[in-house]
A and B are shown apart, each in its own frame.
Chain A
Amino acid sequence: MIWQLSSLFSSIAHANGTFMPPDGDTIAPLYDHLYLVMVLMSAIASLIVIGGMVYFSIKYRRQTGRKSAYITHNTTLEFLWSFIPFCLFMVAFGWGWYVYYQMRTMPEDAFEVNVLAQQWSWNFMYKSGKKTTADMYVPVNTPVRLIMTSKDVIHSMYIPAFRQKQDVVPGRYTQTWFQAPHVGNFHIFCAEYCGMGHSAMLGIVHVLSKADFDKWLETNPYKGLTPVQVGQHLFQQKCSVCHNPTTERKVGPGLQHVFGSMVQLQGQPPHLADENYIRTHILHPSTYSVQGFPKGVMPSFQGQLSEEELTGLIEYVKSLK
């Protein structure tokens, strides 16, 4: 089942025995080259300063009968240790600029995916009309451009394997791109703090071969599934960040045994949890606030679910007995 996120996460090779994520796109080798050179330069510079400090500290430790020298300055030396670091910094700057230029030059013929971030999930929309949550599917060896915005607060699309990160800001579009030369699955993180579910706002990029991708684009994900199975699928992707399918509370209440019960509300009489109640909660969550939970935490899912999907979710909640 493709929506079993947790099992997939553990199956993705992470560090490959190095201290960097795997190389997932065409930028990654360029990036790693610069990173390695900068780490080495930093290590050498640190060794010179720290080594000098330790050497002088031992060699010139206080000993009876030895006085310190009186040296106020040395213009040549001071010029050199200002000018040489300046030149090295300019190399770092220029090289950084060169790689950054390629990171930020969007290819014109790219395959476009629209991204809508919200607390706390990633929604992907394709030109074919297909929508996914948490899982993004892209073709291999094809430049892919992400056009992103947010429904609520600032998020940040971060794919370590692609060495790409771009904040996703409400009220405007930002973009990033990548081209993956190999088939594989890579992590998506939210890198800008966005509240309670920030560290659970994860996703996966599935890089598929062109044939597999075309097949995926055409298939109806709900074909042959019962409404409860559709609901379970959606629940895993969209709801499970905050709700357990058991009675255990997470960010919000656990949903087992909720359907058909009388829900205790704040400042309102108890309400029967029927189909309409669940539907209102998904589309207009601020209508009711459940006793024991802070108000205004749950985002609205209006406009993101088809009638078929809504019915599926309600049937799934119904099935949690």
Chain B
Amino acid sequence: MSATATAPSGDNYLNHEKGLWSWLTTLDHKRIGILYMISVMVFFLLGGIFAMLMRTELIAPGRTIMGPETYNRVMTYHGTIMVFMVIIPGIPAFLGNFIMPLQIGAKDVAFPKLNLISWYCLMVGALVAFTSLFYNGVDTGWTFYTPYSIRTHTGVTFMVLGAFIMGFSSILTGLNFIVTIHKLRAPGMTFWRMPLFCWGLYSTAIIQVLATPVLAITLLLIACERILGVGIFDPTLGGDPVLFEHFFWFYSHPAVYIMILPAMGVISEVITAFSHKTIFGYKAIAFSSIGIAAVSFFVWGHHLFVAGQSEVAGIIFSFITMLVGVPTAIKVFNWTATLYKGSIEFKPPMLFALGFLFLFTIGGVTGIMLATIALDVHLHDTYFVVAHFHYVMVGGTLMAIMAGFYYWFPKIFGRMYNIFWARITFVLIFVGFNVTFFPQFILGAMGMPRRYYDYLPAFTSLNRISSIGAYTIGLGFLIALIVILQGIFGGEKASANPWGAKTLEWSTVSPPPHDNFVTEPIVTAGPYEYR
């Protein structure tokens, strides 16, 4: 591709317009991506501080630094911030917004104004959610189970309204991406020539559009019940608390795939780029994304094996959950096979991608254990589950965010970060992660329930190890923040394609010009033609 040959005189999206106002009113998908980047990083820092406070409290049984009222609030804010404000918008809204139009050769997303509105939805929603801090906080956990969330004298109403508004950010982004991928692909960019990151985003967008409204309505019903006293979930008003669990997980289980499918897309990109080899089983990976998205709507009941749903329903949900394991396993095997006879470079993005493969595999096999219905009876609501979903959400999605960020960093900013220190962050985060969460599998099997402020003396040593691991992760992310800031403001200039990758975004200049490409790209081959 020869688009780089005639780059105009240094005009790019960063210097195209100047001033704070131009950023707050921008319709450029790249600038909106940067807005998301900043907000997600701030939220991640907040959620991380709450995580450190939790692990410090749990370093010993009994009261360490806070009482149970405070601990329950810290736990709730950690969960809600990380889920609704970091992991869900992390990859699609930040990396997806910036990279996807470039990857399919589009000038922008289909609805630029809607794209900006999505970001404002996230901001307003977050603001409303944080208002709860001034109304006695929220102590329900991120799952808002009724009737506790109806009865607690805390700011639940603000938190659920905030999550309701943030949901629209997710729905509108999904809608935007579906239309963009259908309508704005460059000439020659057929569906089967699309990079797998776009396939991941496309499947994610389908879930976002179909599942998020269910959460929105459910949260609104909680607000109705709290404000107006309408009996929907509270049995004393004639409601059914288990109905809430069904509604909640009908969204929140597919939401797990909102979090992981784009991460899988990132990993496909990074592994091919640093193996300098075409992806193994392109169609299998693309189809498995769609397959996971489709089946993900029918597995929510595995969160309710011991909640009081019928045994028959439990067995059916156990079966369908096993089926999701198959496309997931296919992807893992395909990535491993891509390494075979490659030419592998251990640059920081690749280290995070290999870390993803390691941690996600453990998260996956423990997921199968939890899907085995009998095993779940003992393990449900224990630290085993906490460890499992952190292996998937942090070991999976967050490692992928880091891989993607380090991978597209030179494209986004036109500069390169310090490779040595970026590798150090990987070592700290990867080692710290395993030290934190592996002991939690054992704690759970031993019978330590989750969301416990205090625990039996028998659980002390494993909790202490876990807390030390958490501090290691914290240190890793602090160094990563410095590496990123140093790279943005003082990094060396990066070339248009420093990794030698083949997808379309690397064919334009770094940072890309306002209109993405100097001349409209024409695509003549697949995305990973490393011959």
Which residue of B is nearest A96, CB measured?
A: B372
Interface residues of B in 67-97 (CB under 8 A from A): 68-69, 72
Number of chain B residues whose Cβ lies closer than 8 Å to a Cβ of chain A = 89
**Residue in B72, B147, B306, B371 whose beta carbon sits within 8 Å of that of A153 in the complex:** B147
CA distance A206 to B137 in the complex (A): 39
Are A68 and B276 interface neighbours, CB within 8 A? yes
A61 to chain B, nearest CB (A): 5
Pair A156/B381 contact, Cβ less than 8 Å: yes
Which residues of B have CB within 8 Å of A103?
374, 377
Closest chain B residue to A161, Cβ basis: B447
Interface SS of chain B? helix
In Å, the complex CA distance between A53 and B342 comes to 12
Residue on A with the closest CB to B381?
A: A191
B282 and A167 contact, CB distance less than 8 A: no
Q: Are B336 and A169 in contact (CB under 8 A)?
A: no
Interface residues in B342-378 (C-beta closer than 8 Å to A):
342-346, 354, 357-358, 361-362, 365-366, 368-369, 371-375, 377-378
Contacts of B19 in A (CB 8 A): none
B365 touches A45 (CB 8 A): yes
From A62, A81, A153, B345 is in contact (CB under 8 Å) with: A62
B333: interface (CB < 8 Å): yes
Contact A49:B340 (CB < 8 A) given known A38-B375, A153-B151: no
Question: Are B326 and A86 interface neighbours, CB within 8 A?
Answer: yes
Contact B369 A60 (CB under 8 A): no
Contact in complex: B151, A67 (CB < 8 Å)? no
Please, which residues of chain A bring their CB within 8 A of the CB of B354? 53, 57
Complex: chain B residue closest to A45, CB-CB: B365
Q: Which of the 9-residue segments B165-173, B454-462, B483-491 touches chain A?
A: B454-462
Docked complex: A30-48 residues within 8 A CB-CB of B? 31, 34-35, 38-39, 41-42, 45-46
Most chain B CB within 10 A, of A96, A161, A172, A191, is at A96
Which A residues between 212 and 270 are near B, CB-CB below 8 angstroms? 251
A294: shortest Cβ distance to chain B, in Å? 6
**Cα–Cα distance between A60 and B275 once the two chains are bound (Å):** 9
Is the beta-carbon distance between B148 and A167 smaller than 8 angstroms? no
Option from A53, A82, A99 in Cβ contact (under 8 Å) with B329: A82
Q: Which residue of B lies closest to A157 (CB)?
A: B306
Report yes or no: B148 in contact with A50, Cβ–Cβ below 8 A: no
Q: Which residues of A contact B326 (CB under 8 A)?
A: 82, 85-86, 89
| Alpha-carbon separation in the docked complex, A70 to B277 (Å) | 7
Interface residues of B in 303-353 (CB under 8 A from A): 306-308, 311, 314-315, 318-319, 322-323, 325-326, 329-330, 332-334, 336-337, 339-346
Say yes or no for A166: interface residue by CB 8 A criterion.
yes
Which of the segments B3-11, B233-241, B403-411 contacts the partner chain? B233-241
Query: With an 8 A cutoff between CB atoms, is B214 at the interface?
Result: no
Q: Is A187 an interface residue (CB 8 A)?
A: yes
Q: Does B468 contact A (CB under 8 A)?
A: no
Q: Are A60 and B322 in contact (CB under 8 A)?
A: no
Q: Are A96 and B283 within 8 A (Cβ)? A: no
Query: What's the least CB distance linking A109 to chain B, in Å?
Result: 21
Note all chain B residues with C-beta closer than 8 A to A15: 446, 458
Q: Which residues of A contact B380 (CB under 8 A)?
A: 165, 191
Q: Does A115 contact B (CB under 8 A)?
A: no
Near A by CB (< 8 A), chain B positions 102-158 give 136, 139-141, 145, 147-148, 151-153
The answer to whether A195 has its CB under 8 Å from any CB of chain B is yes
- Assess whether A62 is in contact with B447, with CB atoms less than 8 Å apart: no
- CB A316 to nearest CB in B, in angstroms, measures 25
Contacts of B454 in A (CB 8 A): 199-200
- Docked pose: A50 CA to B362 CA in angstroms: 9
CB contacts (< 8 Å) of A191 on chain B: these are: 380-382, 449-450
Name which of A72-80, A133-141, A302-310 contacts chain B: A72-80
B255-286 interface with A by 8 A CB criterion:
275-278, 280-284
A197 within 8 A of B: yes
B235 & A93 in contact (Cβ 8 Å cutoff): no
Given A20-B446, A73-B280, A174-B308, CB of A169 within 8 Å of CB of B365: no
Q: What are the residues of chain A within 8 A of B374 when measuring CB–CB? A: 31, 34, 95-100, 103
- The residue on B at minimum CB distance from A175 is B308
- B282–A93 CB distance below 8 A: no
Instruction: Tell me, rounded to whole Å, the shortest Cβ–Cβ distance linking A134 to chain B.
Output: 15
Q: Are B361 and A49 in contact (CB under 8 A)?
A: yes
B183 at interface (Cβ–Cβ under 8 A)?
A: no
Q: B333 near A81 (CB under 8 angstroms)?
A: yes
Q: Specify the chain A residue showing the minimal Cβ separation from B377.
A: A165
Chain B residues near A152: list those with CB within 8 A: 147, 151
> A10 an interface residue at 8 Å Cβ cutoff?
yes
Give chain B nearest CB distance to A280 CB in angstroms: 21
Tell me if A192 is interfacial: C-beta within 8 Å of chain B. Answer: yes
Alpha-carbon distance A164/B148, docked complex (angstroms): 23
11 A-B residue pairs with CB within 8 Å:
A39-B369, A42-B366, A45-B365, A56-B342, A69-B341, A74-B281, A96-B375, A158-B381, A163-B378, A165-B380, A199-B451
10 cross-chain pairs, A with B, having the tightest CB-CB distances, nearest first: A171-B235, A160-B447, A99-B374, A96-B372, A42-B365, A69-B341, A56-B339, A199-B452, A68-B277, A89-B322
